[in-house]
Structure 1
């Protein structure tokens, strides 16, 4: 029984789902025993030996533990595709990263990555717009897009919220969004905020001659309410909705993706809360896999972190997350626990770097990510010594300086807003 699922040297079929885990057995449990239990619990096994499956079906459905590295605590398992409901991300994750996390046979377990074969990839939506479609919506083709988050995130009334959005738009931001915990509170009701902020958007477009987009947070208690809010935004002339991914859940995200296909709305995804189970290197589910699932589900834009000290991710991880969002074929990277993935034409998700962005970081961000990135500015854009409009201008000026091949210091000599931001340590 110990070797029931262990099949070292097995070559996964091209239709198999392949997972890589970090696994640390509990005291008194051998590595092989823990591997065998994990594979069984994620498929046809369990705590008890139940022999009700026909030998033929059991052989067809059983997983294969085909790679074990005890020293590095790495295990790779190949799962037959018949174990999964292709179009259900919730079921897929419940299978390979579900009840097994409750097992006392291991002290730590982390699902690093998962390769999706061609059949399930073809049944999942993927982003409606992708990078090209978002650029067409925004009318921006040759530089990073700039987002501002209205701050303070909580406490503003709808009129003040709209005014902050207007200042951000006029200063040069392409996109303005709510923050993750602003939805429909008494001090800032959803419908009123939408109406006033879209009026601010229209006024800013008329003043600047540029397209502007407002991304209102439609996270809601139920899918029905989320859909109602999406329809409200579509009817008022919006092009975007924003959603809190982790609290909302995969099934609700897939429902939203279905709805936005008909409404013609892009989805901006805030990845807050992911660190509750991604941050520990040896336990949970990796941020890389969360990013992969977000693209499969069909989120058009996704926060992936930043190079600033505020967030946990490092530069190599951010580059990997960026590639996961935009590349059509991803090669395996053993050191980073990344498995190969062929996206089979699934549109890319536009990566958003956020949390701690400021004008001074733009040269490094563009060096790392190039032009196909959305740079989000939160508090930094609203603490400029001359005000929100000026810092929004400073952000655009910093991008212009990079595109012109000029240092920010040199460009700042003829651009007062950028110079003020640099002098203020922003």
Structure 2
């Protein structure tokens, strides 16, 4: 639909579905709980949200959430599930990401008519892409900057997550880059704490990275975590730039859409988007939002990389959900931009072949924390095990079939496989 914003939801309600959905459409556009002066038929026709479709999925006698209010006088409520589609005039919002989210994901979650409501997807007019330039690097730009093609960018996270001094952090960086990683990042728990001041951490880490680059020609990308207030993030960004850094990172949910957009406009470095806290949006079956919405919003804001979890991860997310997230990152569907999917969370050599087979390409980052740093033969062996697993996996070979050729794979299977 030209120049309309479309949102798709999964809902549950004990009220007549059409009436409940009409309440949602009114609440999120020109209406409220009573008729007000100025709410003319002409205004409602132009600016009121429209119910585009309703698909009933089934019913239950038990609500997903217990705090919804069934219709008055109903002793035994029946809760119906449905997929619905709502649209808004672009002029209600304009090119404004925070107001867009207030429209499609605002007070509607609190409406008493619903015992469950999840935002599944959004489709945006091309006006949004015309206004928001999106990622400056995305997949191809990051690959070029990292000097990595035809395979994943292999990386890791500084571990322990907190507690290391800037000197200890730099020593681990030295070991990692000599071990052959392409990418290193701060843990999301590490920003600018008293025990590891940001500026000193950047100076010492970049000394090791630049020294190695001068000697070998390979410059490892390090995503330093800027997260904080906007002015502090700009100051930290300039510290990274001054020390010839090549990547910055933000905790997207806690920094906020507007701050992310400002930093993305401000910087000439790739922006690594960490989604920590994401579980509260996607984990409930009938509450929150799905990943495609999240990716679309932050790709418009300008991030270049976005975490997706990985296969057989240490969290609760299913492989199917992870694969859908990776595909969403690599797609421009719905009026958004491509971003580099970041495969992480409990990854080691074992998941490489299956990841390649199921994703169908290697246009991604493959980050292993303990999967590299805890290898029994050390960090270099950990990196080597990941690289071999991907090289062989892209040929269709599983670890068990090639382990006899590679001691580092044998050790990985014995250690992580248990």
Do the two structures share a fold, i.e. TM-score over 0.5?
yes
- 1:81 maps to which of 75, 90, 98: 90
Matched, 1:225 2:232: yes
Q: List aligned pairs for 1:278-317, cutoff 5 A.
A: 278-317=282-321
CA contact (8 A) 1:125 1:257 kept: no
Summarize deviations over 1:145-200 as a string: whole Å, max 9, x none.
11100111011111111111222222121000001110111111111111111112
- Residue 12 of structure 2 corresponds to 24
CA contact (8 A) 1:241 1:268 kept: yes
CA contact (8 A) 2:11 2:117 kept: yes
Displacement of 1:342 after TM fit? 4.7
Taking only aligned residues, the RMSD between alpha carbons, in angstroms, comes to: 1.8
- 1:235 maps to which of 242, 245, 257: 242
Summarize deviations over 1:246-275 as a string: whole Å, max 9, x none.
111111111111111xxx110001111011
Displacement of 1:319 after TM fit? 2.5
Secondary structure (helix, strand or coil) at the match of 1:313 reads coil
CA contact (8 A) 2:312 2:318 kept: no
- Residue 194 of structure 1 corresponds to 202
Q: List aligned pairs for 1:104-253, cutoff 5 A.
A: 104-206=112-214, 208-220=216-228, 222-253=229-260
Pair 407,113 (structure 1): closer, same or farther in 2 beyond 3 Å: closer
- Residue 9 of structure 1 corresponds to none
CA contact (8 A) 1:172 1:396 kept: no
Q: Which 5+ residue runs of structure 1 have no aligned equivalent?
A: 1-12, 331-340
- Residue 366 of structure 1 corresponds to 356
Displacement of 1:214 after TM fit? 0.9
CA contact (8 A) 2:128 2:335 kept: no
- Residue 392 of structure 1 corresponds to 383
Pair 160,117 (structure 1): closer, same or farther in 2 beyond 3 Å: same
Tell me the TM-score normalised to structure 2 length: 0.89
Q: What CA distance in whole angstroms lies between the structure 2 residues aligned with 1:317 and 1:103?
A: 27
Q: What CA distance in whole angstroms lies between the structure 1 residues aligned with 2:213 and 2:414?
A: 30
- Residue 109 of structure 2 corresponds to 101
**Deviating runs (4+, > 6 A) in structure 1?**
none
Q: What CA distance in whole angstroms lies between the structure 2 residues aligned with 1:404 and 1:197?
A: 35
CA contact (8 A) 1:350 1:373 kept: yes
Q: What CA distance in whole angstroms lies between the structure 2 residues aligned with 1:408 and 1:208?
A: 30
Matched, 1:268 2:276: no
Q: What CA distance in whole angstroms lies between the structure 2 residues aligned with 1:207 and 1:178?
A: 24
Displacement of 1:424 after TM fit? 1.6
Displacement of 1:140 after TM fit? 0.8
Q: What CA distance in whole angstroms lies between the structure 2 residues aligned with 1:407 and 1:314?
A: 21
CA contact (8 A) 2:296 2:335 kept: no
Q: What CA distance in whole angstroms lies between the structure 1 residues aligned with 2:233 and 2:126?
A: 31
- Residue 35 of structure 1 corresponds to 21
Summarize deviations over 1:61-109 as a string: whole Å, max 9, x none.
11111211233421111111111131x2111001111122222222221
Q: What CA distance in whole angstroms lies between the structure 1 residues aligned with 2:89 and 2:108?
A: 18
Q: Which 5+ residue runs of structure 2 have no aligned equivalent?
A: 58-80
Pair 97,321 (structure 1): closer, same or farther in 2 beyond 3 Å: same
Q: List aligned pairs for 1:311-390, cutoff 5 A.
A: 311-328=315-332, 330=333, 341-343=334-336, 346=337, 348-369=338-359, 370-390=361-381
CA contact (8 A) 1:353 1:375 kept: yes
CA contact (8 A) 2:135 2:300 kept: yes
Displacement of 1:15 after TM fit? 1.2
Summarize deviations over 1:301-349 as a string: whole Å, max 9, x none.
1001111141233233222222221123x4xxxxxxxxxx254xx4x20
Pair 142,292 (structure 1): closer, same or farther in 2 beyond 3 Å: same
Q: What CA distance in whole angstroms lies between the structure 2 residues aligned with 1:79 and 1:129?
A: 31
CA contact (8 A) 2:227 2:251 kept: yes
